[in-house]
């Protein structure tokens, strides 16, 4: 399996909790598709105190996993939105 691109995308998106609208990440996303996974190396600013948990409402929004040998967060559908 191929690794994610070494050169991170130039466009950046803000990721928010769907329940309480708190900002969770600033993420360098590639492509136009839906947000399914977040590679940890592409997160530029992390606003969470514990991994995969919203700091405000304590909702779990993702699971830690390895995707193509790279650490990532697998997003639970409907728990976050991005702008």
**pLDDT at res. 63:** 97
5 in a structural domain? no
Q: Long-range contacts made by residues 64-68, C-beta under 8 angstroms, separation at least 24?
A: 65/37, 67/4, 67/37, 67/39, 68/1, 68/2, 68/3, 68/4
Domain extent for 23: 13-82
Average pLDDT, the chain: 92
Count up the domains in the chain and report the number: 1
Q: Is residue 70 part of a domain?
A: yes
72 within some domain: yes
Confidence (pTM): 0.87
Q: Is the pLDDT of residue 1 over 80?
A: no
């Amino acid at each position: 399996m191929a690794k994610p691109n070494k050169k991170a995308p130039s466009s950046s998106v803000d990721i928010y909790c769907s329940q309480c609208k708190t900002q969770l990440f600033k993420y360098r996303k590639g492509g136009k598709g839906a947000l399914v996974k977040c590679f940890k190396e592409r997160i530029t600013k992390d606003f969470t105190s514990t991994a995969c948990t919203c700091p405000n409402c304590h909702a779990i929004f993702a699971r830690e996993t390895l995707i193509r040998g790279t650490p990532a967060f697998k997003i639970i559908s409907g728990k976050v939105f991005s702008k």
